[in-house]
Amino acid sequence: MAEAEFPVLLVSNALALLPAPILERGIGLLLAVLARKHPRLFRTLAAHPPCAIGIEPIDLPHRFVLRYGGGFPSLIPTGTLDQPLNARVKGKLESLVGLLEGRLDSDTLFFSREIVITGDTETVLSLRNALERDSVDLFATAMALFGPASGLVQHAALALERRLVKTRRRLMAWHEALHAARREEASVAARCARLEAQLQEANARLAKLEARLRRRDLARDLS
Amino acid sequence: MKAYLELVCPAGTPAALRAAVDAGADAVYCGFQDCTNARNYPGLNFDRHELKSGIAYAHARGCRVFVAVNTFARAGDFGPWQRAVDDAAALGADAIIVADLGVLDYAARTYPKLRLHLSVQAAAASAFAIRFYRETFGISRVILPRVLAVEEIAALIGQTDIEAEVFAFGSLGTMVEGRCYLSSYITGRSPSMDGVCAPAEHVSYQEEGNCLVSRLGEVVINRFGPHEPAAYPTPCKGRYLVHGRPIYLFEEPIGLNVIPLLAELKAAGVTALKIEGRQRSRAYVSKIVGTFRAILDSLAQGKPLPAEAAELAGVAEGGRETFGAYARGWR
Amino acid sequence: MSNPAKSRLTLGPILFHWPNPRRRDFYARIADEAPIDCVYLGEAVCSKRLPWFEEDLPEIAARLRRAGKEVIFSTPALITTEQEAAGIQALLDAGETIEINDLACLHWVRGKRFVSGPLINVFHERALDVLRNHGARRVNMPVELSAAQIATLARHNRTGETEVFAFGRQPLAISQRCYHARAHNLHKDNCQFVCGLDADGLEVSELSGRALFAVNGTQTLSHGFLVLLDELAELQAAGVSHFRLSPHTLDMVEVAGIYRAVLDGTCSAEEANARLAERIAPIPFINGYLHARAGREWQPARPST
């Protein structure tokens, strides 16, 4: 645990220490480069009705507001998310990045509650589907932009990569536990089903006989 | 017994199509960006240009492309369905997947050489239904509704000798497909005609205390405790009060996984396995298709199932799985 | 356009599992008292129920026919077994007209005239033509259609007869799984016919407590009652010839009387609604689909000027 947590703390602390205006400028540059690499994605975003999505990495002190639709998109760091938003997406940083890059399956992240989406689901879903069409490699882009010498970016990339793999394993283990429970249920259910099939046959025969009997009684009463 | 089980995989986006082809799909299926296909979600599906390059990509790698035109044409508005059939044929689709009597009629008359696969939305659940569709429209393949047990599937194939495609993995509907109005009863948009069940614009999640509450329109579909897996608010997978007790009356939010039944399905004479999930990510498609490829290759060579088979589970809906109707007790 | 005076009232098959004495009494009253033109008999939901009452059907049919009513036999919504197939073949062999609810029936009906039931997907003119070419002589509109869509189809309908589901809990879905059994922790194969406990369906509510659906064995219905009194005139004018009332435990003779009076113009829709509401409350009315809205909604008539 400790060795995995260390670089994460480093990223969080480093990002936390960055003053918001500098972070904002960095992100602005990143978006400009991404727009050149993924013109179709940015066209799709521009064609969307104007919207604001709050992004809450639970392991960072920053919150972000993503705005797109109409003009060029923006991603602005902010202290709190009390402005009007169409939707909010909350989760660990690596889950959010995995989602953005299309490397983690969004539905699995959501079903397992690794990320929580509230508000206007359609906006989030169409954003997800737009991202799905392009393979956005956020950190490769960031490193190319700020140079591999940028210690911060490199640390962040390494730490996130490690945690992405960990998340994937956690999702797997989470499922395995549920699955094992299900298997036991299934074998009992199969035994019950066999017994019940036999019972049903007997029952159907009984129902037919009873109906016939009732009619015969009725006929006798009438005659 | 058929020698080869074909793997038919979902492609909601061009990226997912490439992922499926690269991971070893024998065929992919996809639809146009409108009401003519049953996964009409925002941002999903192909425009005409994307389909053209998708087909080229798949064909270059020996993979076939099926185009789903599998909703029901609306009264007085046949245009979108006619265009979808025309364009799929013109772009070189290997088959179209159709459910509606009118669309079948149009396609069979206009493109007698185009292969027709009968969509699961038509819910042809008996040899009689299949014979009707084959004799009337010349369908080549039927995608069987998810209401049949394995032994029933075997009997049905025996009686009709038709190519049968069955669902192998993914989200499981509990109602007879193509005839379920639960979603339009709540939202006004019809899965049959608009191609969308539980449309996203009607879906909302709200954190209430420790719980996550999902709604479709104003209707509460589920409430999840702090550590409970969440799910999309599909009406047939909601939790409802019956006799005052909260239960999953129709079905739990679980996914279908038939891996343990593959040998039986193959013995039953099934032609193709279908992976559900055009609405899911390319990461998902890549993982599922790759795993199924490995499993089917092992099965064909008589080897034990590879270790990945167990891992697959992690991506099922709600993280849980069922054999569904393939096992009789489900009913 | 059809002559509104010719509008016919039909009585759909009993969708619920009623005990035999109730069935017999019900049809006796319908034969003697109800202004119904056509009665659909038989089991459309679950063929496991059929052995309970099929021996009564010939006598019931004969009595209804003596009372001058047309009798048509409804068939299952989902056909999967040989017994179900044999049942349909037997009806056709006996020269009966059937209502089909699964397209599998088209395999047998060749050359014989049939009625397409409300559970058949016919959303478009071309689909309608396919049914007509196979021998449909009357086509029921799926319950999901709006008034405008019904009008388009009715105009095009060359079978001559267009029927609309006009009263009762609206069928929404059919399954191979029995939800009644599931609600009682039973399997369908050993269901103990618990569906018989709820003669109008089992109430299903949201977690918030508001009623939403009614379950009837393998079928799911609306909780609210579809009531199309306000819309009858519009539908008549659009060419709808038959209006279906779906049997429930309330007094169906009275319901038929109310609908007949509105069709004949001897009672206003407003007054008829009020009379029906007395019988149905606190269960709400619904008519959303007809107004191109969510099925569960109710759109009151615009006040007449």
In three state form, how does the secondary structure of C249-304 look? CCCHHHHHHHHHHHHHCCCCHHHHHHHHHHHHCCCCEECHHHHCCCCCCCCCCCCC
Of the residues A122, A134, A192, the best mutation for testing chain B's interface (the one with the most B CB atoms within 10 Å of its CB) is: A122
User: B237: distance to nearest CA of chain C, Å?
Assistant: 12
Average pLDDT rounded to a whole number, residues C255-270: 96
Query: Would you give the DSSP letter of residue B175?
Result: B
B199 prior amide bond cis, ω within 30: no
Give SS3 for B301. coil
- CB-CB neighbors (< 8 A) of A193 in chain C: 187, 189
Question: Rounded to whole angstroms, how far apart are CA atoms C187 and C164?
Answer: 34
User: Considering the domain boundaries, does residue A143 fall inside one?
Assistant: yes
Q: Per 3-state DSSP, what percentage of chain A is helix, strand, and coil (rounded to 5)?
A: 70, 15, 15
Per the CB < 8 Å rule, is C55 touching A211?
yes
Q: Which residue has the higher pLDDT, C250 or A219?
A: C250
The confidence score (pLDDT) of residue A222 equals 65
The confidence score (pLDDT) of residue C203 equals 97
Per the CB < 8 Å rule, is B192 touching C79?
no
| Number of neighbouring beta carbons within 10 Å of residue B305 | 16
Average pLDDT rounded to a whole number, residues C50-58: 93
Nearest CA in chain C to B100: C127
Domains of chain B and any CATH numbers:
6-172+254-330 (3.20.20.70), 182-247 (no CATH)
Task: Report residue C111's pLDDT band, with 50, 70 and 90 as the boundaries.
Answer: confident
Per the CB < 8 Å rule, is B176 touching C78?
yes
How many beta-carbon contacts under 8 Å exist across A and B?
131
Spans of chain A, pLDDT less than 70:
1-17, 147-153, 156, 171-202, 213, 218-223
C26 in Cβ contact with C247 (< 8 Å): yes
Nearest CA in chain B to A129: B43
Spans of chain B, pLDDT less than 70:
1-3, 308-321, 328-330
Per the CB < 8 Å rule, is C121 touching B78?
no
Nearest CA in chain A to B260: A183
Q: What angle do CA A90, A96, A97 make, to 5 degrees?
A: 165
User: Considering the domain boundaries, does residue A188 fall inside one?
Assistant: no
The confidence score (pLDDT) of residue A188 equals 57
Q: Look up tokens 């006989």; give the residue.
A: A209
> What is the extent of the structural domain holding A138?
2-176
User: Considering the domain boundaries, does residue A191 fall inside one?
Assistant: no
Element at C17 (helix H, strand E): none
Per the CB < 8 Å rule, is B101 touching C103?
yes
For residue range C166-178, what is the model confidence (pLDDT) as tens digits?
A: 999 999 999 989 9
Per the CB < 8 Å rule, is C192 touching A199?
no
Question: Shortest CA distance to B191 belongs to which of C76, C210, C121?
Answer: C121
Closest partner residue to B204 among A102, A108, A121, by Cβ?
A121
Task: Report residue C127's pLDDT band, with 50, 70 and 90 as the boundaries.
Answer: very high
Neighbors of chain A with 3 or more C-beta pairs under 8 Å: B, C
Closest partner residue to C55 among A197, A200, A215, by Cβ?
A215
Q: What angle do CA B22, B24, B25 make, to 5 degrees?
A: 105
Task: Report residue C303's pLDDT band, with 50, 70 and 90 as the boundaries.
Answer: low
Per the CB < 8 Å rule, is A175 touching B314?
yes
For residue range B4-48, what is the model confidence (pLDDT) as tens digits?
A: 899 999 999 999 999 999 999 999 999 999 999 888 888 899 999
Cα end-to-end distance, chain C, whole Å? 25
Q: Name the residue ranges covered by the structural domains of chain C.
A: 4-171+224-282
Per the CB < 8 Å rule, is A215 touching C189?
no
Question: Rounded to whole angstroms, how far apart are CA atoms A49 and A27?
Answer: 22
Question: Rounded to whole angstroms, how far apart are CA atoms C100 and C109?
Answer: 9
Number of domains in chain A: 1
User: A54: distance to nearest CA of chain C, Å?
Assistant: 28
Q: Look up tokens 């659909």; give the residue.
A: C40
User: Considering the domain boundaries, does residue A197 fall inside one?
Assistant: no
| Number of neighbouring beta carbons within 10 Å of residue A149 | 8
Contact B303/C at CB under 8 A: no
SS (H, E, C) A13-28: HHHHHCCHHHHHHHHH
Contact B122/C at CB under 8 A: yes
Per the CB < 8 Å rule, is C144 touching B188?
no
Per the CB < 8 Å rule, is C102 touching B74?
no
Tell me the residue type at B137: F
Name every residue whose Cβ is closer than 8 Å to that of residue A209 and which is 6 or more positions away in sequence: none
Q: Which residue has the higher pLDDT, C1 or C96?
A: C96
- CB-CB neighbors (< 8 A) of C189 in chain A: 193, 196-197, 199-200
Check which CATH number belongs to the domain holding A133 and give it: 3.30.1050.10
Across chain C, mean pLDDT equals 94
Question: Shortest CA distance to A201 belongs to which of C53, C177, C217, C190?
Answer: C190
- Its CATH architecture, for the domain C4-171+224-282, is Alpha-Beta Barrel (3.20)
- CB-CB neighbors (< 8 A) of B212 in chain A: 113, 116
User: B94: distance to nearest CA of chain C, Å?
Assistant: 24
User: Considering the domain boundaries, does residue A151 fall inside one?
Assistant: yes
Nearest CA in chain C to B134: C107
- CB-CB neighbors (< 8 A) of B192 in chain C: 121, 123, 144
User: A170: distance to nearest CA of chain C, Å?
Assistant: 31
Among B288-297, B321-330, C121-130, C133-142, the least confident range: B321-330
Question: Shortest CA distance to C259 belongs to which of C9, C6, C5, C4?
Answer: C9
Contact B207/A at CB under 8 A: yes
Closest partner residue to C189 among A196, A208, A215, by Cβ?
A196
Name every residue whose Cβ is closer than 8 Å to that of residue C84 and which is 6 or more positions away in sequence: C47, C75, C76
Q: Is the pLDDT of residue C17 over 90?
A: yes
Of the residues C47, C84, C107, the best mutation for testing chain B's interface (the one with the most B CB atoms within 10 Å of its CB) is: C107
ipTM of the complex in this document: 0.95
H-only helix segments in B161-301: 182-187, 191-194, 262-267, 282-300
β-bridge partners, A57: A91
Nearest CA in chain B to C293: B188
User: C293: distance to nearest CA of chain B, Å?
Assistant: 5
User: Considering the domain boundaries, does residue A210 fall inside one?
Assistant: no
Of the residues B281, B289, B311, B321, the best mutation for testing chain A's interface (the one with the most A CB atoms within 10 Å of its CB) is: B281
Question: Rounded to whole angstroms, how far apart are CA atoms B236 and C184?
Answer: 18
B166 in Cβ contact with B270 (< 8 Å): yes
Q: b vs e for B111-141, b when ≥16 Cβ sit within 10 Å of the residue's Cβ?
A: beebbbbbbbbbbbbbbbbbbbbbebbebeb
